[in-house]
C-alpha cells in the first residue's frame, strides 16, 4: 500500500504507474524512459504534460537509474549496465522497480 499522495502529485504518479516499464536500453543497461511512450500514455490518460509533470517523471526516472547503477556497483567503466542478467539463475539485478 502506498502512502497518500498530495493532490499535486496524483497525475504524475498515475502517469508513472503507466510508463514505469517503458525503458530504453543501450549496450549493457538502461538509458532512460522512452519519452514517446510517456507522451502517448499521457494522451491516453488525458494528463496534460506540464513542466511540473515532466519534472516529476524525470525525477522518478533519475531515481530508478541511480538505484540501478548502485545495484550494479556504480559506473566503474566495467560495463555494469542496469537490468542485465548476472547469474545462471536468470535473476536480473538493478531492475527498474519503484
pLDDT class of 1 with cuts at 50, 70, 90 = low
Each domain of the chain, given as residue ranges in start order, spans 8-69
* Whether 82 contacts 30, CB under 8 Å: yes
Q: Which of 35-39, 65-69, 71-75 has the highest mean pLDDT?
A: 35-39
pTM: 0.69
Grid coordinates of 4: 497518500
Decide if pLDDT at 86 tops 50: no
Percentage with pLDDT > 70 across the chain: 72
Higher pLDDT, 72 or 88: 72
Q: What would the DSSP string read from start to end of 9-52?
A: GHHHHHHHHHHTT-EEEETTEEEEE-HHHHHHHHHHTT----HH
Rounded-to-integer distance, Cα 57 and Cα 54, Å: 5
Q: What is the mean pLDDT of residues 45-60?
A: 96
Grid coordinates of 28: 549493457
Amino acid at each position: 500500500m502506498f502512502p497518500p499522495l498530495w493532490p499535486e502529485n496524483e497525475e504524475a504518479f498515475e502517469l508513472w504507474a503507466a510508463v514505469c516499464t517503458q525503458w530504453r536500453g543501450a549496450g549493457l543497461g538502461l538509458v532512460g524512459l522512452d519519452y514517446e511512450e510517456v507522451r502517448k500514455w499521457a494522451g491516453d490518460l488525458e494528463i496534460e504534460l506540464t513542466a511540473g509533470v515532466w519534472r516529476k517523471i524525470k525525477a522518478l526516472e533519475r531515481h530508478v537509474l541511480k538505484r540501478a547503477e548502485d545495484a550494479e556497483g556504480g559506473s566503474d567503466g566495467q560495463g555494469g549496465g542496469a537490468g542485465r542478467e548476472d547469474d545462471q539463475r536468470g535473476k536480473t539485478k538493478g531492475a527498474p522497480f519503484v
